Amino acid sequence: MPYKLLITAALIALTGSAVAQQSAPTVESRVLLKSKASWDGTPYTSYPEGQPELTLLKINIPANTALKWHSHPIPNAAYVASGEITVETRDSKKEIRLKKGDALAEMVDIMHRGKTGDTPVELIVFYAATEATPLSQ
């Protein structure tokens, strides 16, 4: 009789362990952006030499705002954490509309700006530059 009780207890323990393993959360990874060109199709041609310096910014833009025209001397990527924004180029008049969850390969040395609509926007922007390189001009 004790053997049956021991076997039953072992089976219950193993079953519980298997259920716990099945319901354990898994790590997931999803590529949000991978690009050799900016969103308008302009290829990235070179990368600055020197000591690398990484910068990650959280940018909050109020509703109904047009940012100043600017350019970036280095490649960077933006992720829309909330809201919607339209990015437009000054000279070619190209534009792209982005919403929450979208990622964007930014332009290098091309004047552009972002414009928000009726809701504020939160962007997470990653720059991979070198020391003393301005992020925007």
Please state the domain count of the chain.
1
Q: Is residue 114 a part of any domain in this protein?
A: yes
CB neighbours of residue 75 within 10 Å: 21
Q: What is the pLDDT of residue 10?
A: 58
| 78 falls within a domain | yes
Which residues span the domain enclosing 116? Answer: 52-130
Domain for residue 35, yes or no? no
Condensed to tens digits (0 to 9), the pLDDT of residues 16-26 reads 555 555 688 99
pLDDT tens string 89-106? 999 999 999 999 999 999
3-state secondary structure 86-120: EEEECCCCCEEEEECCCEEECCCCCCEEEEECCCC
The whole-model pTM stands at: 0.79
- Classify residue 106: in a domain, yes or no: yes
Chain mean pLDDT for the chain: 89
Residue 26 lies in a domain: no
Two tokens, residue 75: 């490649």
Report, as an integer, the average pLDDT of 26-35.
94
What 3-state DSSP class applies to 85?
strand
> Does 4 or 71 have the greater pLDDT score?
71
Q: Which of 12, 43, 32 is nearest to 77 (CA)?
A: 32
Using CA atoms, how far residue 63 sits from 37, 69, 88, in Å, is 29, 17, 17
Is 73 domain-assigned? yes
Instruction: Tell me the CATH number at 94.
Output: 2.60.120.10
